[in-house]
Structure 1
Amino acid sequence: MRLTLIQRDDCQLCDRAWEVLAAAGVPDFDPLWIDGDLGLQARYGSRIPVLRREDTGAELDWPFDPAAVRAFLS
């Protein structure tokens, strides 16, 4: 399953999301930086970080913890 972490530069919550994903045992994901993309900023600006499943398009908004990530992926 392909995952994308939608985030922006210099974002402490985004840094924390990386830690949560590691704690949840997520082996790999693609980062998507919204900085410089007005469309993505309008869509995700107040929601980041957001974890997205590329197979279903489902999104998990912050805040999330390891248990929420594992449930989202099951």
Structure 2
Amino acid sequence: MPDSRVVLYSRAGCHLCDEARDVVVVECERADAGWDEVDVDADLGLQARYGEYVPVVEVDGVVQGYWQIDAGRLRSALAG
């Protein structure tokens, strides 16, 4: 599992995932936080867990949002 504070669970061809990635990049750069992206379709367990909820963003193992990622909420979670 990734070692970064932020994990973006996504899948290929997902326009919401592209939008979420943009938010994650900006907010992680602002907070100087590392992030990883995980393709849920590469793992049957993740595929079953997240299904149609992608994108999903976690900070320190806690889900902060899915589908449309709120920059303010992510920023608050990173501020701790």
TM-score (structure 1 length as normaliser): 0.78
Residue 48 of structure 1 is matched in structure 2 by 54
Residue 71 of structure 2 is matched in structure 1 by 66
Secondary structure of 1:10 counterpart: coil
Secondary structure of 1:35 counterpart: helix
Mark the runs of 5 or more structure 2 residues left unpaired by the alignment: none
Residue 38 of structure 2 is matched in structure 1 by 32
How many residue pairs end up in the alignment? 71
Aligned letter for 2:9?
I
Q: CA RMSD in A?
A: 1.7
The Cα of 1:15 is off from its aligned counterpart by 0.3
Mark the runs of 5 or more structure 1 residues left unpaired by the alignment: none
TM-score (structure 2 length as normaliser): 0.74
Query: 1:14–1:48: 8 Å Cα contact kept in structure 2?
Result: yes
